[in-house]
Structure 1
């Protein structure tokens, strides 16, 4: 079977423009016609293997820069699945994963779905839960959002229209939203000091026509909640249309999808696309400057940056992760090929975990994944105190990352040696799935490789790996 054709016009255009070259100049260097290059950038022609080699050299990017993002994610996920000792996969078999994904992507997807069902069943039996086979609705919705590159254009444009048509202003947005809820929907907002103690952020009483907001919440959080309610009230039909396009496995998954889309609308309303996209480019993606300009939180700015993938007006493709101090991933989305571990904890070398030792400080890191892709990562703790001594505030941090080829477009590249191949920290998807067998930070052996306990040597971990 022929290899899958690679269409990467947008990536090609971005790399060319970063070097200040027009189409005619790059075409001359490649010894191809400008019209052919134009067709490549418009995804009317695929990139050939010889051309990929020359482009990677001339544009100073790795060959993986042009790889299909979904294929790269499938490879990591399939490798992690096959690493289960049940499959007894040999190194040779693991080396064939890329070929399987290219030649039979639908088979690879079906295999991973089957394996997820198997692991769910195993967990069910281990916990003696009689409720039946769980479908993990959170994972289902998360994967759906990531499959859409974390961008829902119809909701994004609807939110932007509300902001512009009502002449909202970032500096006065909280009062604008309060007024809009009152005038357009007859709903009055009020503070409730008991909500946080009950584990709630907001409560809508349709009978009383009141929206109660947690009294001790930050202003930017209150803005987000009001925007979320506006999305539910005004664009429920649009949200339902998006949900009906997908065959979710349960009512729980459909309900979570509706909440996710209402949250997406809220983020798009408080940070309208064109205004925010333009401001982000002018600020070179300086998160703190964007916070001041839009009155939003650090987390809200980071998450919105990861959604800027409007056709014809894209921003930098970012991935976004929110985690707690124990390593639990609370939220994640990606417009990049960056993949996350399905099982086990994430990599301890990721700078998002160092952020907990430096609360409130922005940490910048160059990190390279096992597929030889280098990322620029920006991490910081987020959140506020609980409002009282005994409230036990939650310790969480976020990380925003992009491929190194986009780093010069950001303020965070200042002072970094982007061309030093030894500079990036070697991170992985988690110890069980990571291929780095010599990592001194490894906590458990990788799945799929046997242990050699008969040697007289002691390495960085108390075992040797067979093969």
Structure 2
């Protein structure tokens, strides 16, 4: 495959003008003729490796020789033009030419499309709230935090990279069992590291004790002994992240456009993100996910994490230049409430009310410890491969009911070859929607409510499964 060409006319002009150089002086620095420089600045010629090296040498702080930028731009354009409202406007060749020859225009278009999608999401929130009978669309603090992570792509780079560096140090520590290939810090390594941070770890024998309690006065972390092994590991990693990255977390929270009530929740969420990155270091986890075709059970074994933790981490693989396949992830309780959600795909989740009853995740809640798969199609014609598994978190006491829920993970069908769960699905998709109030399908027997934006007709002489027709 030929190396993509890079056109950087506007960048060159900006560099030259910021340095107060004329075209002749700039051409002399780069070792090219004035006419050649003019062609570069007008995007008539791509930047060669020789010119790029000269730019990096003379403008080390301003010139970024990003060889992956054209490829990422083409991929982003392809994703935008896959949107149903734009699908008829682009071709593969046209997108490649646009990305190469007019990168500034392509970037502006991508920004415009992203803004349009954000506006559509806001409109959907208002429509769904109205359809659900809510008097206001004001977000609760936990919704603000959820939306903050969604806007961030469910990935926080400074925290993730710092946690990965910490994991590398802990994995290389002598306390690690060197008889097997290192993938994640051991529990003993985590406890030892907390000791170096002057934090002592204790276990509470009381069944009704909090899962985690930290006393800053005595610098003591107390964990509930009844917790599963993977949960204890995660809480140890959370405490390490909260202590080691306190300044970074505080800076991110201070800069976030959220209410004061949401800020403590965001700080917890950021520490949780870093904890996941510590137990499942980005490069190691992404490499293992590709190698296993995203087999969750195998990832759990390699990184000593729970099924939910591995699924959640897969939804955070959004590092620029090292992105995993775009996936959606959610957690649903017995009542159908979505308590966790993120989507890097075109699939979006209902904010109010339940999800589509035809989606496999609802069946999974009732059948714990069994993986169910489904090929689904949304009203816009996009197909998704979904995997869902019902889970039970023990309470440690007969007096307390265990927590039951299901997690779902999936990708668009075009990525099925990299998703092991696609191997057992059929060719006929199940038609699903976002929620009944937003789904336009006129012939769904599972419909609980009419669409909010469609009229209905009721015939007193005809009774079908759904007692009305959607017009």
Partners of 1:267 and 1:85 lie apart in 2 by 36
Shift of 1:434: 1.1
* Correspondent of 1:459 among 461, 464, 467: 464
Partners of 1:211 and 1:338 lie apart in 2 by 39
Shift of 1:323: 1.1
Report the secondary structure of 1:289's partner residue.
Answer: helix
Aligned length, in residue pairs? 383
Matched, 1:372 2:381: yes
**Match in the other structure for 2:444:** 439
User: Are the counterparts in 2 of residues 72 and 337 from structure 1 also a CA contact under 8 Å?
Assistant: no
* Correspondent of 2:396 among 387, 400, 403: 387
Report the secondary structure of 2:203's partner residue.
Answer: strand
**Match in the other structure for 2:169:** 165
**Match in the other structure for 1:78:** 123
Of 167-176 and 341-350, deviating more is 167-176
* Correspondent of 1:266 among 267, 275, 296: 275
- Taking only aligned residues, the RMSD between alpha carbons, in angstroms, comes to 3.4
Q: Give per-residue Cα distances to partners, 1:222-275, cap 9 Å, x unaligned.
A: 1111111111111111112212222212x2111111111011011111101011
Change (3 A) 1:83 1:391: closer
Report the secondary structure of 2:299's partner residue.
Answer: helix
Where does 1:105-124 land on structure 2 (aligned, <5 Å)?
Answer: 119=134, 121=136
Partners of 1:424 and 1:52 lie apart in 2 by 27
Report the secondary structure of 1:233's partner residue.
Answer: helix
Partners of 2:114 and 2:198 lie apart in 1 by 46
* Correspondent of 2:330 among 316, 321, 327: 321
Scaled by the length of structure 1, the TM-score of the pair is 0.74
Where does 1:398-413 land on structure 2 (aligned, <5 Å)?
Answer: 398-413=407-422
Change (3 A) 1:298 1:46: closer
* Correspondent of 1:176 among 182, 189, 193: 189
Change (3 A) 1:274 1:435: same
Question: Which structure 2 residue ranges, 5 or more long, are not aligned?
Answer: 5-45, 47-67, 94-109, 174-181
Partners of 2:70 and 2:197 lie apart in 1 by 49
Of 160-169 and 221-230, deviating more is 160-169
**Match in the other structure for 2:101:** none
Change (3 A) 1:210 1:77: same
Change (3 A) 1:242 1:429: same
Q: Give per-residue Cα distances to partners, 1:364-388, cap 9 Å, x unaligned.
A: 1111112221111111012332223
Question: Which structure 1 residue ranges, 5 or more long, are not aligned?
Answer: 1-21, 26-34, 57-65, 87-115, 123-133
Matched, 1:150 2:180: no
Report the secondary structure of 1:320's partner residue.
Answer: strand
Partners of 1:271 and 1:84 lie apart in 2 by 37
Matched, 1:192 2:197: no
* Correspondent of 2:222 among 212, 228, 231: 212
Q: Give per-residue Cα distances to partners, 1:94-134, cap 9 Å, x unaligned.
A: xxxxxxxxxxxxxxxxxxxxxx9x94548xxxxxxxxxxx6
**Match in the other structure for 2:284:** 275
Where does 1:5-24 land on structure 2 (aligned, <5 Å)?
Answer: 22=1
Of 275-284 and 375-384, deviating more is 375-384
Change (3 A) 1:298 1:147: same
Partners of 1:68 and 1:365 lie apart in 2 by 30
Partners of 2:298 and 2:395 lie apart in 1 by 26
Change (3 A) 1:295 1:84: closer
Partners of 1:447 and 1:80 lie apart in 2 by 13
**Match in the other structure for 1:126:** none
Change (3 A) 1:70 1:226: farther
Where does 1:31-110 land on structure 2 (aligned, <5 Å)?
Answer: 41-43=71-73, 54-55=91-92, 71-72=116-117, 74-75=119-120, 78-79=123-124, 81-82=126-127
User: Are the counterparts in 2 of residues 438 and 460 from structure 1 also a CA contact under 8 Å?
Assistant: no
Change (3 A) 1:303 1:365: same
The structure whose Rg is larger is 2
Shift of 1:73: 6.5
Partners of 2:216 and 2:72 lie apart in 1 by 50
Scaled by the length of structure 2, the TM-score of the pair is 0.73
Report the secondary structure of 1:380's partner residue.
Answer: strand
Partners of 1:70 and 1:401 lie apart in 2 by 25
Partners of 2:198 and 2:317 lie apart in 1 by 33
Change (3 A) 1:463 1:310: same
Shift of 1:82: 4.0
Matched, 1:290 2:303: no
User: Are the counterparts in 2 of residues 307 and 335 from structure 1 also a CA contact under 8 Å?
Assistant: no
Report the secondary structure of 1:364's partner residue.
Answer: strand
Report the secondary structure of 1:208's partner residue.
Answer: coil
Where does 1:331-370 land on structure 2 (aligned, <5 Å)?
Answer: 331-370=340-379
Matched, 1:238 2:280: no
